[in-house]
Amino acid sequence: MKLDELARTFWRDGFLAIDDFFDPVQVGRIDERIRQHYGDHPDFSHTDEFISAAQTEVIPWFPQNEGIHEFDALANDAGLGALTEAILGPGWRPDYCMVMFSRRGTAGQAWHQDCSPDSPSQHNLNRLVYTSDIDDAVGGQTVVVPGSHKKGLLPAGDPHGHFPGETILAPRKGTLVLLHGHTWHRVLPVRGRFRYSTNYRAVPSGTPKDITDVCVYRNMRYRFSTSSIVEHRS
């Protein structure tokens, strides 16, 4: 598909999944670096309050902030940049690179929006790169509600409940998933040794730097900069 067609699909659905976007050898180097960093039994970095309330058991890592340059090649990939501009328009900027790791037996991630939809025109773009297969044996597939980026606030309710029309994504090694920050999504429980993805977040021109500081869950809004619940929802 051409860039303009891909962009239209993204804005229709609020997400876009493209298999084999990246070369397996290229992402293999990133995959090895991620496994070296985490090992088999990394400790959680979020507070117990967040893990319990959000029902989100992930361990983030920001490798570029530590001067680790293996991740730069994907961030600077020309194809990724062109597709990002087709979606976000000129003047877009990269935000940060974040690896999200989940251990065996963990709950994955409950339904959430990565930024508040209170202002529909202000949002982030998740650019998720998968360096290993996400299949039934591993678990941790991503569930999205197509078109939900246009539906406003994620409804309060069961953090792991079901929505009509939800779609399950099972990315392979080399897959790119683009996800609008207002799209309702979650991650299924992890069965294998671990599950991870690398998110090269980007934002449109004029977007506040703290756009992803407050995340919306079905039972709360959470501010990461202060590690605090700013709103209980029911």
Residue 182 has what pLDDT?
A: 98
Residue 103 has what pLDDT?
A: 86
The per-residue DSSP string of 162-224 comes to --TT-EEE---TT-EEEEETTS-EEEPPB-SSEEEEEEEEEE-TT--TTTTSEEEESSEEEET
Its CATH class, for the domain covering 3-232, is mainly beta
Can you say how many angstroms the Cα of residue 142 is from the centroid of all Cα atoms in its chain? 9
Q: Give the span between the Cα atoms of 142 and 166, in whole angstroms.
A: 10
Q: pLDDT tens digits for 62-102?
A: 999 999 999 999 999 999 999 999 999 999 999 999 999 99
Higher pLDDT, 97 or 107: 97
Q: Give the span between the Cα atoms of 52 and 133, in whole angstroms.
A: 28
Residue 223 has what pLDDT?
A: 94
Closest CA to 145 of 162, 128, 131, 130: 162
Domain boundaries, the chain: 3-232
Name residue, tokens 């959430």. 112
In the chain, % of residues over pLDDT 90? 84
User: Looking at the DSSP assignment, which residues form a beta bridge with residue 123?
Assistant: none
Q: Which two tokens stand for residue 190?
A: 């992890």
**pTM attached to this predicted model:** 0.93
CB within 8 Å of 60: residues ≥ 6 apart:
45, 98, 99, 100, 101
Q: pLDDT tens digits for 157-213?
A: 999 999 999 999 999 999 999 999 999 999 999 998 899 999 999 999 999 999 999
What are the phi and psi torsion angles at 101 (to 5°)?
Answer: -120, 135
